[in-house]
């Protein structure tokens, strides 16, 4: 069996090593246009921040280690065409194109940064995106000799870059086109995030919300940034964190069905619409386990699981990836922000009739040292009482209340059922009644009235 | 309506304030032999440690605050008899006994320290138990002028006292009659706890396991401790943390049915076997939601919920307390220890055929600063794949993996179902695949083979 994998970051690297274990006599190859394989792109902001010194820490497995496992990795080898009728791919490397045959093909081409349409910006040498190892090295180097950074976008990556830069003493301007920062959260939670961050002393940054960059000025480098509303400010460099788009072009061209989300449509076995071709990771659609809808939520943990599932099925061993809850977490300075399931706005969009409760509690008993705030929002369907999701913002440990919700979403529990929960309690870890349970008890009362 | 509550720490205090809100025109009284009411006994070890200076922080509500709410609190008023046929209690206070009538009686007498039978020990002025505010004040005072402490028992309270004492520079000897410390955990987890603690530098303490105190020597104070195996060591004071026993004597004498666990038998409405008498908190039995058996697991969070439920029903509003999972957590120095559901030994005892997996992972991605170990054990039934429980030991955050298990136990999920979980991921919070999910995936493979 000859298995070819396109892409080798999270899903692709996982698929390769899984297949190698399942089918020791197969031929397994990874083709990637990247200069590195099998790395933690989620760790890039922490390398830039300086949480660890050597970027090699981000590399999970080197080309040599793959070689030792019997997996051939072809770096800087761009797959430019899939030829399903011949079970071949066309690879371009060093200005040389060649065909590679496959019995099973796994597409793990991932996603790339979304680039807003700003006049001429690609001409500048100090505009970065955050995806690859080179990005990490280049941004860190630039940061170390700069005083001011501009970040476009305040989602997960944007907010992580903000932390990295201000912790290194830079002034930062974050430009967000939405009305609120971290727009994936419900507006009330985004407001809390922004307030917590802006009330923090010792760092210099500002959020320009409801604001779009209209122009970069400068010669070879961006020297100042202009916004649609007429603001202008000088900057040393720009990082674009305005979202990502799935790399689906070669799949689409090969006739593989693309879902309504714009990512590759797959079934629970990670099979695409064309035989012997699988897709997994950030390039593939997922099923949302609460709404039942197809969604595109590209996350490293999901990529890992999908890579495993694609490998199992490509190797002939039945396995199903059920879907995602959209669980995510990040940190910015003093603030953890975490969510699972549907937000209130998402719940409305898919046809639920949501009811929610938001509470503000301490993360441990108030008399304990370092007790910190935790803002917790839980959302249920008004008609059925079915739990739909939750969001937590605040102290380190806010994420823990979100992970305590995921199983209940999986099990389609109601608020009433969840309110029987028995969480651990000790003064350094939570109040007597954990904030999550507390919120759920209030939501139960609200549902009864 | 005239409601009388015996005991006012957690369940009693909660019941009183809940009833007051539900029935604004009722008469609500608390009788307690204690000198304080409504306090956080779980916080006592942290007061002793010096995490906060004023013991008043432990007091949730004062007698005056209860008075303002229209609740009468009678301190140092011991209820010595319940007369169900007359709906009266006999109270003894200041060497004066008197009868009090009730329409509804809520027994929240709690538990007391179990006192091992050691010759003559009650004669000594430096032997303490850890239940009440006076204990907190006395132990802290004694600790501040001492060099060596002896702790009998290494359960939750024992291990919390150990942290308090060594953090204040004392040398400590912990005597544990079982083979392992923290004997509520499975032996393998207890061994990990002990190893982690003993490998920690900067503190002086030792665990004498499989060892029983046979004698205290000294005149008015214990000066040295002798053990059954012949050891003898000098000490400045002794704290007995050898477990607790429910205060059920007056209930039993009144003819109220006591369960096989030794605590007061109640139904889901917290009703005892005698009409108009409820019991809640540490004096009452609970139903274990995994085993379905009656158990006695006295914990502050449960007391709070049961107090609320008893109040609802006493007020004529139907409410049910479903039961407990035995979820608990504590910290000793660098080590969090947490559990929910059944341990492997408990699972065997109630007739399951358990299978388990224990893994050793980092609590966040290994390249992040302060990454710490987390040892996680998950337990399922071999026949059905039903999840039975979990234990986590290690880094702060180990407890978070346990709280992520409770809903799945409530929902009677199988390992197969749980393995579809979608936990949050970001390098500062967890590895790409959370240790809990990782353990569950391995357990799933083990179940399939």
Report the pLDDT value the prediction gives residue B118, as an integer from 0 to 100. 85
> Does residue B241 have an active-site annotation?
no
Cβ proximity of B8 and B107 under 8 Å: no
Cβ proximity of A387 and A414 under 8 Å: yes
pLDDT value at B312 more than 90? yes
Report the pLDDT value the prediction gives residue B341, as an integer from 0 to 100. 98
Helix axes B398-410, B435-448, angle to 10 degrees: 50
- Residue B311 corresponds to which tokens in the numbers above? 């109040």
Backbone φ and ψ for A181, nearest 5 degrees, come out as -75, 165
Antiparallel, parallel or unpaired: β A294-295 and A328-332: unpaired
Whether residues A410 and B413 touch (CB distance < 8 A) is answered with yes
Residue A230: partners with Cβ closer than 8 Å, 6 or more residues away: none
Among the partner-chain residues A42, A46, A418, the one whose CB lies closest to the CB of B407 is A418
Whether residues A330 and B410 touch (CB distance < 8 A) is answered with no
**What CATH number matches the domain at B115-242, 3.50.50.60, 3.40.50.720, 3.40.720.10, 3.40.640.10?**
3.50.50.60
pLDDT tens digits, one per residue of A96-111: 999 999 999 999 999 9
Return the percentage of chain B with pLDDT > 90, whole number.
96
Whether residues A411 and B406 touch (CB distance < 8 A) is answered with no
**CA distance to partner chain A, nearest, from residue B430 (Å):** 10
Cβ proximity of A174 and A151 under 8 Å: yes
Report the pLDDT value the prediction gives residue B333, as an integer from 0 to 100. 97
pLDDT tens digits, one per residue of B64-82: 999 999 999 999 999 999 9
Query: In whole angstroms, what separates CA A43 from the centre of its chain?
Result: 11
Q: How many CB pairs under 8 A join A and B?
A: 212
Give CA–CA dist B340/A131, Å, rounded: 40
Chain B residues near residue A406 by CB distance under 8 angstroms? 404, 421-423
Residue B1 CB-density burial (10 A; 0-12 exposed, 13-18 middle, 19+ buried): middle
Strands (E), B20-167: 27-31, 71-74, 78-83, 88-93, 96-101, 104-107, 111-113, 127-129, 148-152
**CA distance to partner chain A, nearest, from residue B275 (Å):** 26
Cβ proximity of A320 and A268 under 8 Å: yes
**What CATH number matches the domain at B337-448, 3.40.50.10490, 3.30.70.1090, 3.30.390.30, 3.40.50.720?**
3.30.390.30
Q: Report the pLDDT averaged over residues A83-104.
A: 97
Report the pLDDT value the prediction gives residue A6, as an integer from 0 to 100. 98
DSSP A251-309: HHHTTPPB-TTSSBP--TT-B-SSTTEEE-GGGB-EEBTTT--EE----HHHHHHHHHH
Whether residues A424 and B327 touch (CB distance < 8 A) is answered with yes
Cβ proximity of A359 and A442 under 8 Å: yes
Whether residues A289 and B420 touch (CB distance < 8 A) is answered with yes
Spell A208-230 as b/e; 16+ CB within 10 A means b. bbebebeebebeebbeebebeee
Report the pLDDT value the prediction gives residue B75, as an integer from 0 to 100. 98
Binning pLDDT at 50, 70 and 90, where does residue B307 land? very high
Among the partner-chain residues B322, B429, B432, the one whose CB lies closest to the CB of A329 is B429
Residue A273: partners with Cβ closer than 8 Å, 6 or more residues away: A255, A256, A257, A265
Cβ proximity of A113 and A119 under 8 Å: no
Binning pLDDT at 50, 70 and 90, where does residue A149 land? very high
Whether residues B424 and A399 touch (CB distance < 8 A) is answered with yes
B2-110+245-314 and B115-242 in the same fold: yes
As a dihedral over the C-alpha atoms of residue B79, residue B81, residue B87, residue B88, rounded to 10 degrees, the angle is: -50
Report the pLDDT value the prediction gives residue A173, as an integer from 0 to 100. 98
Average predicted confidence (pLDDT) for chain B: 96
Task: Give whole-number Cα distances, A285 to A248, A251, A294, A299, B358, in Å.
Answer: 11, 13, 6, 11, 33
pLDDT tens digits, one per residue of B283-298: 999 999 999 999 999 9
The residue assigned the tokens 């008197």 is: B98
Among the partner-chain residues A322, A365, A422, the one whose CB lies closest to the CB of B324 is A422
Binning pLDDT at 50, 70 and 90, where does residue B22 land? very high
pLDDT tens digits, one per residue of B121-139: 778 999 999 999 999 999 9
Q: Which has more pLDDT, A398 or A86?
A: A86
Give CA–CA dist B157/A159, Å, rounded: 41
Whether residues B426 and A331 touch (CB distance < 8 A) is answered with yes
**CA distance to partner chain A, nearest, from residue B354 (Å):** 21
Among the partner-chain residues B51, B340, B367, the one whose CB lies closest to the CB of A43 is B367
Report the pLDDT value the prediction gives residue A381, as an integer from 0 to 100. 98
**CA distance to partner chain A, nearest, from residue B30 (Å):** 21
**CA distance to partner chain A, nearest, from residue B223 (Å):** 33
Cβ proximity of A307 and A14 under 8 Å: yes
Binning pLDDT at 50, 70 and 90, where does residue A390 land? very high
Residue of A nearest to B54 (CA): A367
Q: What length is written for chain B?
A: 449
- Residue B387 corresponds to which tokens in the numbers above? 């999840």
pLDDT tens digits, one per residue of B346-394: 999 999 999 999 999 999 999 999 999 999 999 999 999 999 999 999 9
Whether residues A400 and B405 touch (CB distance < 8 A) is answered with no
Backbone φ and ψ for A317, nearest 5 degrees, come out as -110, 120
Report the pLDDT value the prediction gives residue A339, as an integer from 0 to 100. 98
**CA distance to partner chain A, nearest, from residue B57 (Å):** 6
Chain A residues near residue B156 by CB distance under 8 angstroms? 426
Backbone φ and ψ for B291, nearest 5 degrees, come out as -85, -20
Report the pLDDT value the prediction gives residue B121, as an integer from 0 to 100. 74
Give CA–CA dist B5/B32, Å, rounded: 9
pLDDT value at A121 more than 90? no
Average predicted confidence (pLDDT) for chain A: 96
- Domain B2-110+245-314 CATH assignment equals 3.40.50.1240: no
Return the percentage of chain A with pLDDT > 70, whole number.
100
Binning pLDDT at 50, 70 and 90, where does residue A397 land? confident
Q: Report the pLDDT averaged over residues A331-358.
A: 97
Report the pLDDT value the prediction gives residue A117, as an integer from 0 to 100. 86
pLDDT value at B396 more than 90? no
Q: Which of A42, A280, A309, A332 is catalytic?
A: A42
pLDDT value at A217 more than 90? yes
Binning pLDDT at 50, 70 and 90, where does residue A288 land? very high
Whether residues A328 and B426 touch (CB distance < 8 A) is answered with yes
Cβ proximity of A142 and A165 under 8 Å: no
Report the pLDDT value the prediction gives residue B397, as an integer from 0 to 100. 84
Whether residues B407 and A408 touch (CB distance < 8 A) is answered with yes
CB atoms within 10 A of CB B195: 13
Q: Report which secondary-structure segment, H or E, holds A217.
A: strand A213-217
**CA distance to partner chain A, nearest, from residue B421 (Å):** 6
Chain B residues near residue A10 by CB distance under 8 angstroms? 432
pLDDT value at A119 more than 90? no
Give CA–CA dist A181/A161, Å, rounded: 14
Whether residues A424 and B328 touch (CB distance < 8 A) is answered with yes
Chain A residues near residue B394 by CB distance under 8 angstroms? none
Among the partner-chain residues A340, A417, A422, the one whose CB lies closest to the CB of B325 is A422
Report the pLDDT value the prediction gives residue A260, as an integer from 0 to 100. 97
Among the partner-chain residues B331, B339, B403, the one whose CB lies closest to the CB of A428 is B331
Q: Report which secondary-structure segment, H or E, holds B305.
A: helix B300-314
pLDDT tens digits, one per residue of A166-205: 999 999 999 999 999 999 999 999 999 999 999 999 999 9
- Residue of A332, A399, A424 best to disrupt the B interface, most CBs of B under 10 A: A424
Chain A residues near residue B417 by CB distance under 8 angstroms? 410-411
ipTM of this complex: 0.95
Among the partner-chain residues A301, A338, A405, the one whose CB lies closest to the CB of B433 is A301
Classify A81 as helix, strand or coil. strand
Q: Which of B42, B241, B283, B332 is catalytic?
A: B42
Sequence spans of domains, chain B: 2-110+245-314, 115-242, 337-448
pLDDT value at B306 more than 90? yes
Report the pLDDT value the prediction gives residue B274, as an integer from 0 to 100. 98
pLDDT tens digits, one per residue of A305-320: 999 999 999 999 999 9
Q: Report the pLDDT averaged over residues A125-132.
A: 96
Helix axes A398-410, B398-410, angle to 10 degrees: 20
Chain A residues near residue B301 by CB distance under 8 angstroms? 422-425, 432-434
Classify B365 as helix, strand or coil. coil
pLDDT value at B119 more than 80? no
Residue B446 CB-density burial (10 A; 0-12 exposed, 13-18 middle, 19+ buried): middle
Whether residues B300 and A328 touch (CB distance < 8 A) is answered with no
pLDDT tens digits, one per residue of B35-54: 999 999 999 999 999 999 99
**pTM value surpassing 0.90:** yes
Chain A residues near residue B369 by CB distance under 8 angstroms? 51-52
pLDDT value at A120 more than 80? no
Residue of B nearest to A392 (CA): B424
């Amino acid at each position: 069996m000859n298995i070819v994998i396109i892409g080798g970051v999270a899903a692709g690297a996982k698929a390769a090593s899984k297949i190698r274990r399942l089918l020791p006599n197969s031929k397994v190859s990874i083709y990637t246009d990247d200069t590195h394989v099998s790395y933690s792109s989620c760790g890039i902001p922490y390398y830039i921040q300086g949480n660890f010194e050597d970027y090699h820490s981000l590399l999970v497995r080197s080309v040599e280690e793959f070689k030792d496992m019997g997996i051939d990795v072809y770096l800087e080898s761009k797959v430019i065409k899939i030829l399903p009728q011949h079970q071949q791919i066309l690879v371009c490397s060093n200005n040389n194109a060649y065909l590679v045959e496959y019995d099973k093909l796994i597409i793990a081409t991932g996603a790339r940064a979304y680039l807003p349409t700003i006049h001429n910006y690609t001409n500048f040498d100090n505009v970065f995106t955050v995806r690859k190892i080179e990005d990490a090295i280049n941004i860190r180097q630039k940061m170390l000799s700069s005083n001011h950074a501009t970040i476009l976008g305040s989602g997960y990556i944007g907010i992580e870059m903000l932390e990295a830069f201000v912790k290194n003493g830079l002034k930062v301007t974050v430009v967000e086109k939405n009305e609120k920062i971290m727009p994936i959260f419900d507006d009330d939670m985004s407001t809390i995030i922004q307030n917590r961050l802006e009330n923090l002393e010792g760092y210099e940054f500002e959020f320009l919300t409801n604001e779009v960059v209209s122009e970069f000025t400068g010669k070879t480098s961006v020297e100042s940034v202009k916004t649609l509303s007429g603001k202008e400010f000088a900057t040393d460099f720009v990082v674009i964190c305005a979202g990502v788009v799935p790399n689906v072009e070669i799949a689409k061209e090969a006739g593989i069905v693309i879902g309504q989300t714009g990512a590759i449509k797959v079934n629970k076995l990670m099979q695409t619409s064309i035989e012997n071709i699988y897709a997994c990771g950030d390039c593939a659609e997922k099923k949302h386990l609460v709404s039942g809808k197809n969604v595109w939520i590209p996350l490293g943990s999901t990529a890992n699981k999908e890579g495993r599932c694609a490998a199992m099925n490509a190797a002939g061993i039945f396995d199903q990836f059920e879907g995602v809850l959209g669980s995510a977490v990040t940190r910015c300075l003093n603030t953890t922000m975490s969510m699972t399931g549907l937000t209130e706005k998402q719940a409305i969009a898919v046809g639920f009739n949501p009811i929610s409760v938001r509470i503000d509690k301490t993360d441990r008993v108030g008399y304990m040292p370092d007790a910190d705030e935790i803002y917790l929002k839980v959302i249920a369907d008004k008609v059925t009482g079915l739990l739909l999701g939750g969001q937590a913002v605040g102290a380190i440990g806010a994420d823990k209340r979100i992970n305590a919700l995921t199983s209940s979403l999986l099990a389609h529990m109601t608020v009433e059922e969840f309110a029987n929960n028995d969480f651990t309690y000790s003064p350094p870890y939570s109040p007597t009644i954990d904030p999550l349970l507390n919120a759920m008890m209030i939501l139960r009362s609200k549902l009864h009235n």
